[in-house]
Structure 1
């Protein structure tokens, strides 16, 4: 987020290119650390990768809200999530196979095989950089053809914009953090949970643990289209958070087939991303979008870092039942924030829960 701040809004193209370069360099350094058996070098590579990757997500969101407006935005965020989860699923299922092929080729396992495998996987980072270059070209071309004057308002994306954020936006931030800290850390620890509580084999536990991502790949665009057609973003977010809460309660307090709970979590996870993230564009001025999305990404990552540590401590000292209760508490905070957001939005006559028809009417009135 901090790296993005010096750029004016229209320079998100340059930001995307720079951050993609960070990702490529970070992956190469990470792979070299494996090849030379230098763990500190691998850590440094992941630091570079993370610096570029998280900032790249902010630039990507800024692109989305600058190119797509109103009823298209939810579908765009759904497609973004879908592509990300396809990548995650392919990675989880392909890298083990690729490692075995490299091992067979080199004739031995070990750090060299790992490093070479990681280097081959880095090809996807190069493809990402190529896409960033193409996108920057298309963005500048569209700006020239359509005579767009983005970034010439005299406003610069800056950290001091945070003090101007409205209460609804802060509630969106709380919803985001409270929700995602109960999903990503759970998936990170979920494999052993399914093996211990439900006596799944390692392979079966891996399969059910990845089903959230598998479901989100095809379902996210569908839900994005649905939210675009209906509007009512807050209602959809409420449904997603409530369903996730039910999923965690089923996993914690019942012995029902966990596929039911995990499928529900996958559906709700897909729905939330399509309905929640576009709401930022409805409550902040255009020149603050980069700052808003950057801040949202930053506090989400901070929450994930802190909660991952807490989750590990709870798991080591109290076990999975207490860990699930902790995740239920996190989702409950998110659910309470959704209810507060609904009430605040209604009291202020906000546009977060407008129907698609209402938004279209307002858009037409502004163009007349």
Structure 2
């Protein structure tokens, strides 16, 4: 018999594939500064015989030639990305709800291309007053696009997979994004050694162009798919009803979930941004390339585990429980880094595992506690709060690590203070995640049920939610 449902499944995963490619290149670009931190903070010129710029070491190792940024300026590259996201994604989420996914993927993927282009262009102005303003402008535009692009990516995933392997779909999306990050940590240092920092940044821009092409493809697939299912008009009608005032009706569970996400990510992203240099400063015997590999193990673990973790969470539920567990199990990571000399690879792999479970349990929980019609707005607010936290954390880390000069080696006590700050964020994450579980239990325990079970209950409570219309397809092709 004609497997109409099978055709829908095939189509959903085709949409998912191109949806995943949206952020592959931008995630590669995001952490290029982390891999090349010494080059960003390096001296503008080096005396003869003291220069080293790759994995090998020669001469006296006194000088690294680079762009001449201070630690504060370097961390500002991450802070401005986060602050831009915090402002832009609120409006972006609302516009996506009002104007649709196709509008979002086109505009925001274009902004990532424009931002990465200006960022790469800025590197050609080292030693001039134009370097920092150009690179900050590039990160600002890049952040405006990438954070907002993640919202529309999540909205598309939630629409096509709500009630159908939702955590798996989010896990696969995260794996593709993390693949970009992993490849960055594996190849960027080698590329820089061979071609220099300018061409390395331009290579990242090319990968962002790949995301723009994918945006065009996923727009076409989304339009054809919703039209084939007869849902295009329904979605447009629901979008017209979305108002900015709807924000005040978002439930307490949602806000506790948002704070849990923010505090957890406050420990992950600022750490990864400085991890490569931290490893070289604290532990002996690590080259820049080896340090970048170890720092990238956070993303390696996530790449390998995300899809499998998604399947597990779809099967057993317990999203709220996993949120608490991830926070608790992250505490030893920063304790080991702060107070011991246990090989750093242990901590980065460990953090990657807890990060995988956190991402697969926290973000897919948002569609379960808010209506589909306001999902873009909810995702935008969640991303905004997350980025506010990360932006503040990056500024604090920059202050902790020093602001006066691009010292070749940052004192160990400063790194220890940074790790204690990471621990404080993790403790706050434990408190908010426990509160989330308490409130969720009082309101039916949706987060700790399987996706399909909670989806059925949500369908009964939210008659205007359009995504469950995809859950069942009759043999004649009609939507039940």
Q: CA deviation at 1:46?
A: 2.3
Equivalent position of 1:75 in the other structure: 168
Distance 2:452 2:158 in 1: 20
Equivalent position of 1:54 in the other structure: 147
Say which is worse superposed, 54-63 or 5-14, in terms of deviation.
Answer: 5-14
Equivalent position of 1:282 in the other structure: 368
Secondary structure of the corresponding residue to residue 279 of structure 1: helix
Cα 1:364–1:35 shift into 2, 3 Å: closer
In the alignment, is residue 340 of structure 1 matched against residue 435 of structure 2? yes
Equivalent position of 2:449 in the other structure: 354
Deviations 1:2-21, CA, capped at 9 Å, x for gaps: 23423445611111111111
Q: CA deviation at 1:118?
A: 2.6
Equivalent position of 1:168 in the other structure: 253
Secondary structure of the corresponding residue to residue 255 of structure 1: coil
Q: CA deviation at 1:355?
A: 3.4
- Say if 1:6 and 1:157, in contact at 8 Å, map to a contact too: no
Say which is worse superposed, 338-347 or 28-37, in terms of deviation.
Answer: 28-37
Secondary structure of the corresponding residue to residue 95 of structure 2: coil
Q: CA deviation at 1:282?
A: 0.7
- Name which of 377, 400, 403 aligns with 1:314: 400
Q: Which runs of 5+ in 2 are unaligned?
A: 1-88, 403-410, 461-467, 473-479
Q: CA deviation at 1:173?
A: 0.9
Equivalent position of 2:324 in the other structure: 238
Written as runs of structure 1 = structure 2, the 5 A alignment for 1:146-225 is: 146-148=229-231, 149-153=234-238, 155-203=240-288, 204-225=290-311
Secondary structure of the corresponding residue to residue 92 of structure 2: coil
Say which is worse superposed, 40-49 or 122-131, in terms of deviation.
Answer: 40-49
Q: CA deviation at 1:357?
A: 6.7
- Name which of 374, 383, 407 aligns with 1:297: 383
- Say if 2:263 and 2:426, in contact at 8 Å, map to a contact too: yes
Distance 1:102 1:209 in 2: 22
TM-score where L is the length of structure 1: 0.89
- Say if 2:319 and 2:447, in contact at 8 Å, map to a contact too: yes
Cα 1:74–1:116 shift into 2, 3 Å: same
- Name which of 232, 252, 265 aligns with 2:338: 252
In the alignment, is residue 34 of structure 1 matched against residue 123 of structure 2? yes
Distance 1:140 1:215 in 2: 35
Say which is worse superposed, 135-144 or 187-196, in terms of deviation.
Answer: 187-196
Distance 1:307 1:364 in 2: 39
TM-score where L is the length of structure 2: 0.69
- Say if 2:336 and 2:342, in contact at 8 Å, map to a contact too: yes
Q: CA deviation at 1:191?
A: 2.6
- Say if 1:73 and 1:228, in contact at 8 Å, map to a contact too: yes
Secondary structure of the corresponding residue to residue 5 of structure 1: helix
Deviations 1:112-171, CA, capped at 9 Å, x for gaps: xx4444333322111111111111111110111100121312645444332222111111
CA RMSD of aligned residues (A): 2.4
Distance 2:188 2:280 in 1: 22
What is the number of residues matched between the two proteins? Answer: 358
Secondary structure of the corresponding residue to residue 94 of structure 2: coil
Equivalent position of 1:6 in the other structure: 95
Secondary structure of the corresponding residue to residue 352 of structure 1: helix
Q: CA deviation at 1:217?
A: 0.8
- Name which of 221, 230, 236 aligns with 1:138: 221
- Say if 2:368 and 2:455, in contact at 8 Å, map to a contact too: no
Say which is worse superposed, 37-46 or 278-287, in terms of deviation.
Answer: 37-46
